[in-house]
Amino acid sequence: MGVALTRSAQWTAAGYGTGTLEITPLNEEILKEIIVFVEHFIYKYPQEAKFVFVEPLEWNTDLKPSAFQSGYFFSETTVESQEVDKNGQPLLFLSVPKIKVRSFGQLACLLSIAKDTKLKEAQACIEGNRDPVVKILGSEFGEMKEDSIALNILNKIKADDDHENEIKMKIAILLKELDLHLLNHTLKYISLQISLNPVTVKKDIELLQSFSGKGEKTVLESIEYTSDYEFSNGCRAPPWRQIHGEMCYVLVKPHDVEVLCITCSTEGVFLNGGKTDDEGDIDYERKSEVYKDLVTLLKEKSAIFSENMSKQEFTFNEEQKNPIEEKQIKEKEAVSGKVITSSDRPKKNEISFVKTHMAKRLEPSLNWRTKVDFKIHKSSAKDSQEEKHGRLEKTRPSLSHGKTVDKTEETISESSSESEEDEGQPDHRQEANADLPSEYWQIQKLVKYLKGGNQTATVIALCSMKDFNLAQETCQLAIRDVGGLEVLINLLDTDEVKCKIGSLKILKEISHNPQIRRNIVDLGGLPIMVSILDSSYKSLKCLAAETIANVAKFKRARRAVRQHGGINKLVALLDCAQNSTEPAQSSLYETRDVEVARCGALALWSCSKSHSNKEAIRKAGGIPLLAQLLKTSHENMLIPVVGTLQECASEENYRAAIKAEKIIENLVKNLNSENEQLQEHCAMAIYQCAEDEETRDLVRLHGGLKPLANLLNNTKNKELLAAVTGAIWKCSISKENVIKFREYKAIETLVGLLTDQPEEVLVNVVGALGECCQEHENRVIVRRCGGIQPLVNLLVGINHALLVNVTKAVGACAVEPESMAIIDRLDGVRLLWSLLKNPHPDVKASAAWALCPCIENAKDAGEMVRSFVGGLELVVNLLKSDNKEVLASVCAAITNIAKDQENLAVITDHGVVPLLSKLANTNNDKLRRHLAEAVSRCCMWGRNRVAFGEHRAVAPLVRYLKSNDTNVHRATAQALYQLSEDADNCITMHENGAVKLLLDMVGSPDQELQEAAAGCISNIRRLALATEKARYS
Amino acid sequence: MNRKKLQKLTDNLTKNCKHFNRSEVTCLIKLFYNLVGDVAERPVAVVGLDRNAFRNILHVTFGMTDDMIMDRVFRTFDKDNDGCINVSEWVNGLTVFLRGSLDEKTKYCFEVFDLNGDGFISKEEMFHMLKNSLLKQPSEEDPDEGIKDLVEITLKKMDYDHDGKLSFADYEKAVREETLLLEAFGPCLPDPKSQMEFESQVFKDPTDFSDM
């Protein structure tokens, strides 16, 4: 027992002496075994059960005296057993909360009394008596070592032959047995558990990484290792922690809780003490329960994780499964007669119906995965326990051979990125062999000819295969399931041009299927296709590029294209103008250069969805070529070109290049195209580029505003509408553009779009109106067209991007007193005010900005503000935010609120002065300006001037005068002027060198600033004079 | 052959030949006489390449292997069926063989594949041409079954009028739809690589012949 308890049981690291048992599954298991032992002791060895311990086992119990019944004498706080020893001492004595027990019999009774809390009692008992053997049998038994036990026992028996010792011996042996049993048991338990290993942990983490990032749909914000260095055994923990079975530490930032620092050890994962701030060391102490894996832990800790995870669950599980398990699941499903229905998984396109149908019908006759893992699969399919062994079996050999390790790691790292929508499709192969469609057999036959035929037969087979409906999933999957994909990809590696062409023609079609794409990448098809891009046959290049365009729809594929140098080659395809020296003779398999360029653009479009690829395209000199191609008039060409540009315009580098390459002109030109898809991509590209002022001007100069305004009338195509409204929004940031839009009557149309549109459109429409309404004429137009009502109605939405824009637009409208009256009537101010509670800081800030003109222009504003119950307190409390924009906006709102004396009194009571004073130390000019304004307003009440001085707001304010922003100067000078009414503040200002700074301001061309600065100086001067006077008189 | 005669021959052939220019024709004529041997010694005899010599060229220069196809190519070149290819047959044949348009090549290939020259490619002919195209699997009961099946597949694909044989119209339509089917029953055109080698070798330096 001793050995098991000291070695196997997991004591908390802290304080070994008084240590407590950790609550781990292993400890629980040990305790349970001990309980069983004690409970059975009384039946198995009745005589020994009566043996009185040398020393009582003592611990603190939770049991109430009232729980004891017959066989005990009990008072309110004590219980004595009726059973006594030779000296008349009770064998069990409880004096709340201490309990002493002196025999196994009593221990067993106690446990039966404890019922549900058995485990707790046993734990307390073990914790209270770190060496139970010594207490039970006396110290001489405690010293027994395993090796000498038999000898010891013999000696004992020889030494004194009395009855008691015999029993003692027997108990000693029994305890020894228990000890052994416990050790064995724990061992068994440990091996039963799938203990984590570096490979599985790494895989988990990489998977989670792929699901992480910004945005609402991801499961986590970020997850990363604390250390980049990976030891050769796959662990990242420092060696002295690896001894404890710890493998790595990860920092996880879930959406809803603080950063979690997690230890991954072989026993499971748990929270540790986190990173200590100064040296970046980790506090290794365990701070939570042990969970079986990361996902379980995170589910427990983060609600958003568990929620988003359940959405991803299916995909995730799918990813996690090794091929063998996947196969296993298939089998299980086949056994239970279940077939995955299309509703079970995220479906992406129209094929899901066919798929369920297929699932029942096709059979994996030449399944490449099954072949590989067949042996392991067989051994692991029996039951769940063996399944676990199966998994261990699988990982172990892979660790022993260097080569295979690489391989597994590669697959792991690859699978990590399979997160994108189109990879979400579970890879299902068909099991039941009944009812296969006739195509399946025909395709199987053709694949046979492909494999066993010469060039002629191969071409015939390829041509015949092409006649099947390759858009249909039945055929796509049939080709794969009969092993056709391998053959097709192998053909690409031959010298036979005709075979390559035929094969690519088929691959191009079937790669529309997401599963096939993944299979093509798995089979290493991409590098071969990339190398074909170098071919001298244009039609081959075209086909290869088109197939790449289809395959590179997911991250891993895009990465593969880049890593094999595909981006450079694809960019080279765009360069059709320079290859104009066509060979005199055109061979049979040639196409036009334009077509090559088009296919290249198509492939680049697919590839350009990855950030690194965008960079690679730029580096390969793709932008000038795209700009060149943009001058053509073929729609087929323009769509992929503009699509690529639009994808890439998310990068700052590109936007600059797009401007430099004069691409905007052509984008604008193509807005006039007939093709809606082309229009959409052009508008989208303009939308992304028009953040830049010069670009906005270019759009106007090239006459792009009119087509944009005209496109607003096409309300049927929502994608187009969203892109167009987006472009209008960004363009209308420039005043000149707004004037044009007004000319084109775009504002009226925009107002009309405020209702019954999808959110993507609404966000842009409202954003555009918000920009337009910065001007008086437009505000009038919006009001006249009845735009205010729908705008106010949108204030109740939940989309935060929309809310930011709506509040801005409403705020812009509120500048007009007449519009304000309407907003007030619609209760818009209350809605705005309630948005101050929105969790998004952007919305808060935007709402607070919008409130400013509302308060300014509302009739009876003071009364209105007071009518919002708790509203003022809410505003004041927002000063505790840590977002600069929120703070600035709230300061501005407070400035407006404080214009009303009563309200100023209320916010003063809510402690606005100390809060404002606390913010004073800032370098943000926007915040400084509004803060100074708020301070100057708040000085108007009671002893607030003095209070600002007491809260040390004056000195930092003086420093604002050193800022470069005149607005800050004006606001600060005014604030200082107000503050200088108090003598102490004057002293502080003077001490901080305000006078010199203010003297400079007096010379400013800004009148208000002049006046305020002069006023402030005069106050300071007057104080000085008064002091002098007082001194000399 | 004297220069005047050669000049005249070249002029004649160049006139009728679409895809070669004069200097190229000159080169081909020169090559022809090189292959045939010194003509001057046998001025009257039928001048030309016989079957074996021609097959040898096809095999060595253009990498063709199928005897039957090579025979058929010879027959197609040999327009007058005299068992040997004369200089005009040589030049005119190579025009299509090397640089023919798709239509010309279609016609040429059909002629090659139409073994008996009856204007149709019958099932038997197809079988004949395809019989070596599949790897024989010892396990199969009927080794010809695969070939028969392949013939059926081809018919299904190309026989538009469903008469169980391929007419030129069928063949032309199928090729138009899928260029890959041009050489449906075996390679009878030079593969691009050997074609390029041949042309670069033969047309290397046309000025050499200008003063012949």
Instruction: Please say if the pLDDT value at position B33 is more than 70.
Output: yes
User: What pLDDT is recorded for position B110?
Assistant: 92
* Interface contact A491, partner B, CB < 8 A: no
Q: What 3-state DSSP class applies to A457? A: helix
Q: Which residues from B are below 8 Å from A461, CB to CB?
A: 150, 153
pLDDT digits (tens, 9 = 90+) for A638-688: 888 888 888 888 888 888 888 888 888 888 888 888 888 888 889 988 898
Beta carbons of B192 and A587 less than 8 Å apart: yes
Q: Is the peptide bond before A97 cis (omega within 30 degrees of 0)?
A: yes
Name the least confident of A695-709, A999-1013, B130-144. Answer: B130-144
Residue A1018 vs residue A243, higher pLDDT: A1018
pLDDT of residue A280: 61
Q: What is the token pair recorded at B76?
A: 């197609």
Of A467, A497, A498, the CB nearest to B157: A467
In Å, how far is A452's CA from the nearest CA of chain B?
Answer: 5
Question: For residue A1014, how many other CB atoms are within 10 A of its CB?
Answer: 16
Confidence class for position A19, pLDDT limits 50, 70, 90: low
- pLDDT(A390) > 80: no
Q: Which amino acid, one-letter code, is at B137? A: Q
pLDDT, tens only, A145-167: 444 555 555 565 555 556 777 77
CA atoms within 13 A on the CB side of A174: 19
Q: What are phi and psi of A270, to 5 degrees?
A: -155, 165
> Percentage of residues in chain A with pLDDT exceeding 70?
80
- Cross-strand partners of A385: none
Q: Does A464 touch chain B (CB under 8 A)?
A: yes
Q: Do A505 and A466 form a contact (C-beta atoms < 8 A)? A: yes
What is the per-residue burial (b if ≥16 Cβ within 10 Å, else e) of A747-760? bebbbbbbeebeeb
Smallest Cβ–Cβ distance between A452 and the set B137, B180, B192 belongs to B137
Tell me how far CA of residue A525 lies from CA of A162, A454, A504, A538, in angstroms.
Answer: 85, 22, 11, 19
Domain boundaries, chain B: 3-100+191-209, 103-183
What are the structure tokens assigned to A41, written together? Answer: 């002791």
pLDDT-derived band at A14 (thresholds 50, 70, 90) equals very low
Shortest distance, CA A326 to any CA of chain B (angstroms): 34
Q: Which pLDDT belongs to residue A5?
A: 60
Q: Give how far B75 is from chain A: nearest CA, Å.
A: 21
Rounded distance, CA A721 to CA A757, Å? 9
Interface-testing mutation among A444, A459, A535, with chain B (most B C-beta atoms within 10 A): A459
User: Are residues A270 and A263 in contact, defined by beta-carbon separation less than 8 angstroms?
Assistant: yes
Of residues A434 and A735, more confidently modeled: A735
Exposure on the CB side of residue A227, measured as CA atoms within 13 A: 17
Question: Strand order of the sheet with strand A220-225?
Answer: A220-225, A246-254, A260-265, A268-275, A282-286
Question: What 3-state DSSP class applies to A282?
Answer: strand
Assess contact for A651 and A619: CB atoms under 8 A.
Answer: no
User: A81 - beta bridge partners?
Assistant: A72
- pLDDT tens-place string over residues A743-782: 888 888 888 888 888 888 999 999 999 988 888 888 888 8
Determine contact, residues A640/A617, Cβ cutoff 8 Å: no
Cβ of residue A461 closer than 8 Å to a chain B Cβ:
yes
Identify the CA nearest to A915 among candidates A878, A885, A941: A878
- Scanning B95-154 for CB atoms below 8 A from A yields 99, 102, 105, 130, 132-135, 137, 146, 149-150, 153-154
Distance CA A720, CA A290 (A): 52
Q: How far apart are CA A178 and CA A156, in angstroms?
A: 21
Between A327 and A521, the more confident residue is A521
Nearest alpha carbon to residue A545 among A504, A513, A514, A575? A504
Tell me what the pLDDT averaged over chain A comes to. Answer: 78
State the average pLDDT over residues A511-525: 91
Q: What is the CATH number of domain B103-183?
A: 1.10.238.10
The pLDDT tens digits for A268-314 are 788 887 776 655 677 777 777 788 778 878 877 877 777 777 666 55
Which residues are A275's β-sheet partners? A282
Structure-block tokens of residue A539: 């039609």
Predicted local confidence at residue B167, as pLDDT: 92
pLDDT of residue A618: 87
pLDDT (average), residues A336-342: 42
3-state SS class at B62: helix
Mean pLDDT of A602-621: 89
pLDDT tens readout for residues A716-739: 888 889 999 999 999 989 888 888
For residue A424, pLDDT beyond 70: no
Instruction: Find, in chain A, the residue whose alpha carbon is nearest to that of B187.
Output: A456
Q: Per mean pLDDT, which of A109-118, A374-383, A1014-1023 is the most reliable?
A: A1014-1023
Cα dihedral: B114, B116, B121, B124 (round 10): -130
The continuous run of DSSP H or E covering A262 comes out as strand A260-265
- Within 8 A of B65 by CB-CB distance, chain A residues are none
**CA separation for the pair A428, A426 (Å, rounded):** 6
Closest residue by Cα to residue A106 from A131, A130, A81, A87: A81
* Amino acid present at A531: S
pLDDT (mean) for A1015-1032: 88
Least confident among A676-685, A845-854, A977-986, B6-15: B6-15
Q: Does B181 touch chain A if contact means CB atoms closer than 8 Å?
A: yes
Tell if the CB–CB gap between B180 and A502 is shorter than 8 Å. Answer: yes
Q: How confident is the model at residue A85 (pLDDT cuts 50, 70, 90)?
A: confident
Q: Are A111 and A121 in contact (CB under 8 A)?
A: yes
Predicted confidence (pLDDT) at residue A504 exceeds the cutoff of 90 = yes
Task: Please answer yes or no on whether B180 and A467 come within 8 Å at the CB atom.
Answer: no
pLDDT band at A348 (very low <50, low <70, confident <90, very high): very low
Fold of B3-100+191-209: Recoverin; domain 1 (1.10.238)
At residue A254, what are phi and psi to the nearest 5 degrees?
A: -75, 170
The pLDDT, as a whole number, for residue A192 is 56
Which of these ranges, A184-198, A383-397, A856-870, A958-972, has the smallest mean pLDDT? A383-397
Calculate how close chain B gets to A690, using CA atoms only, in Å: 47
Say yes or no: A501 contacts chain B, CB-CB below 8 A.
yes
Is A62:A97 a contact under the CB 8 Å cutoff? yes
Compare all CA atoms of chain A with the CA of B177 and give the residue at the minimum distance. Answer: A463
- What residue ranges in A27-122 does DSSP mark as E strands? 57-60, 72-74, 78-81, 92-95, 98-101
Q: Check whether A215 has a pLDDT greater than 80.
A: no
User: b/e string for A254-274 if b means 16 or more Cβ within 10 A?
Assistant: bbeeeebbbbbbbbbbbbbeb
Inform me whether the C-beta atom of residue A890 falls under 8 Å from chain B C-beta atoms: no
Min Cα separation A535/chain B (Å): 13
Contact B179 A588 (CB under 8 A): yes
Q: What is the pLDDT of residue A591?
A: 61
Instruction: Look at B157 and A502 and tell me if their CB atoms are within 8 Å.
Output: no
Is the full-model pTM beyond 0.80? no
User: B113 to chain A nearest CA, in Å?
Assistant: 13
User: Please, which residues bridge with residue A794 across strands?
Assistant: none
Q: What string of H, E and C letters represents the secondary structure of A664-722?
A: HHHHHHHHCCCCHHHHHHHHHHHHHHCCCHHHHHHHHHCCCHHHHHHHCCCCCCHHHHH
B160-211 pLDDT per residue, tens: 888 888 999 999 999 988 888 888 888 888 887 888 888 888 887 555 444 3
Range B161-176 burial, b when 16+ CB lie within 10 A, else e: eeeebbbeebbbbbbe
Spell out the domains of chain A, with CATH numbers in brackets.
2-190 (no CATH), 198-316 (3.30.2280.10), 913-1033 (1.25.10.10)
- Residue type at A1024 in one-letter notation: A
